[in-house]
Each structure stands twice: as C-alpha cells, then as structure tokens.
Copies of this chain bind each other. A is one copy, B any other.
Amino acid sequence: MVRIKKNPSGNISINDVARLAGVSITTVSRVINKISTVKEKNRLQVFDAIKQLNFQPSIFAQRLATGKSNVVALVIPRYEGIFYSYYALELIRGIGTLCEALKLDLLLHLTDTKSPINLKGIGGVIFADIIGNRSQLEDALASGIPSIVINHYIDDLEVSCIAIDNITGAEEATNYLIGLGHKKIAHITGDMVTQAATHRYEGYQRALKKNNIGPNEEYVLKTDYSRGQARTAAEQLIKMPNPPTAVFVASDSMALEVMAVARELGRKLPDDLSIVGFDDNPSGLYGPVSLTTVRQPLIKMAEESVKELNLLISRKDKRAKAKKILLPTELVIRESCQRIDSGKA
C-alpha cells in the first residue's frame, strides 16, 4: 500500500523547484551547488523557480547527504569569573561576526564543564579557555572532529591553539614599572584557575627575578577577577605599613577598582601609586588618569580561530600538524604610572 506523507513542514523542496523549472532535481542540485556544468538556459530557469517559490534548501538534508556540517560550536565553560570581564563578550563578538561572514553556523555551548557536549553533526569546535573541561577537549580530539583552543596554550595535546602571550606581556608590564625605578611592585592576580592568570603571575615573577628584585609574597594578592575582590586587595595593599609603590593588576576592570580605592584613601595618582592593568579595556581611557595597560588582541584571536578552524574543516588532509600560535601583546603607556626617585623606592 502506498502511503503519502505530506511534507511535514509544508515546505517547498527541491522537487517543486525541479518541476517548475522543467528539469530534474539533479540539475537543481547542481545549480544550488554552483556546479558549472549546467546550461545557461537551465540555470536561469532554475534560478527563476527558486525565486518564485522562495526556496531554501534544507540544511538537514544537505548535511545528511554530504555528511558535512558547517556548524561551529563555541564551548565556553560556565565559570563565573569568565563573565566578569569584557573578555567573553569580545570573544563571542569576534567569533560571531566572522562566522556570520563565512556563513558558518555558530552554536554556543555554555558548558558546566562536566556534561559531555554532543559533537554529533558538528563541523568543528572552538574551545574558549579550558577551565575544568579538559575532558571535553579530549573527547573532541578523540572523535577526530576539527578542534581548536583559544586563550589557553596547550603543550601536551596535538591540537591547534591560539593564545595570548600573557607571560611576556606581564613581564613587559613589570619591566616597565622596574624601568621607572620601582622596586616595591605588587601584583593582583586573576583567578588562578585560568591560565591567563597563572601566566601573568609568572611573567611578573620572571621580571622581578631577572632584575634581582626579591619577590615579596606579601605583595601578591589573589582574586577571582571580580571588582569586589580587587577592592579588598587594593585596600590591603595600600594600608600596608610598607606599601608597594606600584602594582601590576591582572585585568583592567580590577585596575580601575584599584585606582578608585587609592583615590578614596587619599592617594594621589599616579604619584603615590603606579598602576598597570591588562586588557586594554576602553573603560581605562576615561577617568582623570588614564590607565596604562597591556593590550591583548582578543578580536584577532577570535577571528584567527575561526579562520583556522575553517581551514581544518575544509582540509582534506586531516592530519596536518597542530599549530601553536602565541599572539603578542602590546604595552600601552598612558598616565597611570610615574617614575619614582630612587631615594623613595
């Protein structure tokens, strides 16, 4: 018995187009896929029919037939601190914009880091940071799906990653402070569960060591990137009997909080306290004293990741060597640091 199933979505399909254009569905398919071996006359007829029917091919059927998918999943660990800065939004913005341009579908996964993400039907994955979700990355790699990690440098896995050179950036920032004559340099870290925070801390330490400045653990205060904890840290630092003359802060928004606290406690900026942030968040431009900071190319990182992933997805040779890219930062000198005379230091 023949059962006729209605097109469930009531949508027009390639068949309708073929009928209207007076050609076979194969020809329609060829036109859709820009295959050149179609007679101009037929091509135009097909175009016409497509337009008339307002036809859009079903991506599900296409993907089922080709086994290919142009869906890019962006996996972001749902960890509080990641939402404190403008970092996450910049990333989403950069990736989203480029995906739009490249006609890639962007699937957003705000993961709890535990539940395995469903990779079925996904063309490629971008992992933004790895915070407690390394197993998700390993799963993706094991399943052979093109993957790329951003904002986290991974040594021990054959995976392409694009990260910021936080160590060098932090070292340069600290060196700059040292160059201004500072010796009592504090550091307010970010959340040490992120690699960015640990690397910035490392760069800070490295600069001190290379300049024979004994590290003073009292001057290192750890936070979760929130302004609240930055405030507490700043108060603690400023109220010390032997307070630092400079502080390198792991993010701009925290640095701004430090500036605010310093002012509230009657300190003159930048004379009483030199401050360097990290991010180049536009907010740092305002205020009576603009913030010296380390610019990190977030948008560039975002865009590169999409381009790179797109290559991986479309490449025949899946066994290309993983690229490890470290994007340089740039010290942006503004007004929040002051040379200190050595007597005072």
Interface residues of A (CB under 8 A from B): 7-9, 11, 56-61, 63-64, 66-67, 69, 74, 78, 83, 86, 88-89, 92-93, 96-97, 99-100, 105-112, 118-121, 227-228, 231, 253, 257, 260, 263-264, 282-283, 285-288
Instruction: Give the Cβ gap from A117 to chain B, nearest Cβ, in Å.
Output: 9
Whether A67 lies near B111 (C-beta < 8 A) is: no
Assess the B109–A100 pair: CB atoms within 8 A: yes
Docked Cα-Cα span, A67 to B83, in Å, equals: 36
Instruction: Assess A285 versus B107: contact at CB under 8 Å? Given A64-B58, A83-B93, A89-B83.
Output: no
Stoichiometry (number of copies):
2
Kindly list chain B residues whose C-beta atoms are within 8 Å of the C-beta of A59.
Answer: 118, 120-121
CB-based nearest B residue for A9: B67
Are A64 and B64 within 8 A (Cβ)?
A: yes
**Residues of B contacting A9 in the complex (Cβ-Cβ under 8 angstroms):** 67
CA separation between A64 and B92, bound complex, in Å?
29
> Contacts A64-B64, A283-B227 known; A110 to B100 CB distance under 8 Å?
yes
What are 26 A-B interface contacts by the 8 Å CB criterion?
A: A56-B120, A58-B64, A58-B120, A59-B121, A60-B63, A60-B69, A60-B121, A61-B64, A78-B97, A78-B100, A83-B93, A86-B89, A88-B89, A89-B92, A96-B108, A96-B109, A97-B110, A99-B108, A100-B111, A108-B108, A227-B283, A228-B285, A228-B286, A260-B287, A263-B263, A264-B288
